[in-house]
Chain A
Amino acid sequence: MTTGDTTPSGGSVTSSAPLRSADLALAEFLRGEGRRVVATLTRQLGDLALAEDAVQDASLRALEVWARDGVPENPGAWLFVAAKRRAIDILRRERSRFDKERQATIMSALTAPDDAPHDLEDDQLRLIFTCCHPALSTEAQVALSLRVLCGLTVAEVARSLLASEQTMAKRLTRARTKIAKAGIPYVVPRPDELPERVDGVTTTVYLLFSEGYASLSDGPALRSALADEAIRLGRLLTVLLPGSPAVEGLLATMLLQHSRRASRFDANGDVVLLADQDRALWNTALINEGLALAAAAITHSPRHPERFAVTAAIAGCHALAADPAETDWPAILRWYDVLATIDPNPVVKLNRAAALAESGSPGEALADVDALVGLDSYFWFHATRAELLARRGAAADASVAAQRALELTDSEPQRRLLRRRYPPVPGATSSEVPL
């Protein structure tokens, strides 16, 4: 639904495009700079919404000036100064938005002797914890992270999360209002609060990653950039929390999954299944880094492994197999059993069933899948059923399941794969009673 649309805002450039216009390159560069300046300015002003507005205006100005005069020597500092000026303008113009006391505080912060962007990692970490504060809904956390941490425009956030721009603008406004009025602090939580906060942060970062990862081929370039962004945030978190198994596991999982990026789609943009992927295309550096982190994550949570330590272990099992036949499916199955004790949700059980099928018990796997409840609107449920049914020779049933899966995905490559693998069978209709 959203994957085909093209706009001049930068979302439409695919990674295979040979050339990018200078404007787009500049806009993308600005996005990175803008994100850092938002982080620093938020610390200085104590007001995320104001910082965002000021940086957005300054970015538009930069686009004009830089395209004309060239990119300045220190673009971050240029943008910072421009954003500060803009913040002063906003403060003067929109008096109603700030109470007097607050306005005075912000103004004095703005006019205090300049501190150029510094300690960027710290500022960004603070922002991560603000955007992923558990007092915000998960939807709000993800939307804010895309907007503030990844620097997407509201239109891009909306497209990414399959919502209308209007809905997304409202959701973001509500979240910003809550941050400002409820006083969600712009700090890295105290050590004793970190454990409970890390869970939400890692979950959000992984959602960002999945958002990009799910659509590397047919989505706009910005979505694949999300996977890179999520990995960047994951790396930032390892700086803050060295030795945290949740963070190590998160980063390991992302790196190991990302290592297969070049092999997941063929030249036509069609999905290449894991078993058929050219493993020579897998990124060895990412695999090695991911495996080391996965091992550390498991070592650091020996008795009660962290959820992401386990997902990293599973991704590691795949990465270690030089060819598909070498994949240690029984080990993967055991890890899924561990995962199911930590996170007993039907999606985990679905994945476990897939591993069970690969371990040589496809019949048992199908029975397990059929026993799952609550996944009727989940694409992978029907796609997995189609595959398991096809393997049993039940082509008609497989085709019906595939039809249901087709209705649940917007991904063209996924749709082509389903049509190719489970062709319609005469007489089979999708009138099957949903489970």
Chain B
Amino acid sequence: MPLYAAIIYSADVDWSLPEYADETKEYMAFAEGAAAVIRGGAALYPTATATTVTVKGGKGGDVVLSDGPYAETKEALTGFYLLECADLDEAIRHAAAIPGAWNGAIEVRPVLPLMS
């Protein structure tokens, strides 16, 4: 069955802080409900902790670091799930149940199967 990444873009939150306990609970409830299709995923620390790495001048060139996420947007990449679903419709049904869908947006992308 195909694998989908459900990438969560929402307000830049710090999941480690107690004030987000309620929202974290909602995510845990989602994870429980969708346990049958979740194959992986993670919550991310806020964008303030991000470092962007670029290699200038092509492969083997200079490593350039900058502070912050790659794209400065109102809605940050805050986490993702890997969902194994029969088709896009099923993936969309699950994505719509992720709390980020009403606090932000979920990008659903098919995962390229790795050659074995």
Point out residues on A near B: beta carbons under 8 Å: 99, 133, 135, 181-185, 187, 189, 193
A184 touches B113 (CB 8 A): no
A107 to chain B, nearest CB (A): 19
Please list the 8 inter-chain residue pairs (A to B) with the smallest Cβ-Cβ separation, ordered nearest first.
Answer: A185-B87, A183-B87, A183-B88, A182-B110, A182-B88, A183-B2, A184-B88, A181-B110
Answer yes or no: B32 CB below 8 A from chain A CBs.
no
Q: Count chain B residues whose beta carbon lies closer than 8 angstroms to a beta carbon of A.
A: 13
A99 touches B110 (CB 8 A): no
Distance A187 CA – B87 CA, assembled complex (angstroms): 10
Find chain A residues with CB under 8 A from B91 CB: 183
* 18 A-B pairs (CB sep. < 8 Å): A99-B113, A133-B88, A135-B88, A182-B109, A182-B110, A183-B85, A183-B86, A183-B87, A183-B88, A183-B91, A183-B110, A184-B87, A184-B89, A185-B86, A185-B87, A185-B88, A185-B89, A189-B89
Find chain B residues with CB under 8 A from A99 CB: 113
B49 to chain A, nearest CB (A): 31
Find chain A residues with CB under 8 A from B110 CB: 181-183
Answer yes or no: B92 CB below 8 A from chain A CBs.
yes
Q: Closest A-chain residue to B91, C-beta based? A: A183
A135 touches B92 (CB 8 A): yes
Distance A193 CA – B87 CA, assembled complex (angstroms): 14
Find chain A residues with CB under 8 A from B108 CB: 182
Find chain A residues with CB under 8 A from B2 CB: 183
Chain B residues 69-116 with CB under 8 Å of chain A are 85-89, 91-92, 108-110, 113
Find chain A residues with CB under 8 A from B109 CB: 182
Find chain A residues with CB under 8 A from B88 CB: 133, 135, 182-185
Find chain B residues with CB under 8 A from A182 CB: 88, 108-110
Beyond A133-B88, A183-B85, A184-B88, list 5 extra A-B contacts (CB 8 Å): A181-B110, A182-B88, A183-B88, A184-B89, A185-B88
Find chain A residues with CB under 8 A from B92 CB: 135
Distance A185 CA – B85 CA, assembled complex (angstroms): 11
A46 to chain B, nearest CB (A): 10
Q: Closest A-chain residue to B115, C-beta based? A: A99
Distance A305 CA – B113 CA, assembled complex (angstroms): 46
Find chain B residues with CB under 8 A from A181 CB: 110
Chain B residues 35-85 with CB under 8 Å of chain A are 85
Find chain B residues with CB under 8 A from A189 CB: 89
A96 to chain B, nearest CB (A): 12
Find chain A residues with CB under 8 A from B85 CB: 183
B29 to chain A, nearest CB (A): 21
Find chain A residues with CB under 8 A from B87 CB: 183-185, 187
Distance A187 CA – B2 CA, assembled complex (angstroms): 17
Distance A193 CA – B4 CA, assembled complex (angstroms): 20
Distance A279 CA – B92 CA, assembled complex (angstroms): 50
Q: Closest B-chain residue to A99, C-beta based? A: B113
Find chain B residues with CB under 8 A from A184 CB: 87-89
Distance A189 CA – B90 CA, assembled complex (angstroms): 11
Find chain B residues with CB under 8 A from A193 CB: 89
Distance A182 CA – B91 CA, assembled complex (angstroms): 10
B7 to chain A, nearest CB (A): 14
A291 to chain B, nearest CB (A): 37
Find chain A residues with CB under 8 A from B86 CB: 183, 185
| Most central of A99, A182, A193 by chain B CB within 10 Å | A182
| Most central of A135, A182, A183 by chain B CB within 10 Å | A183
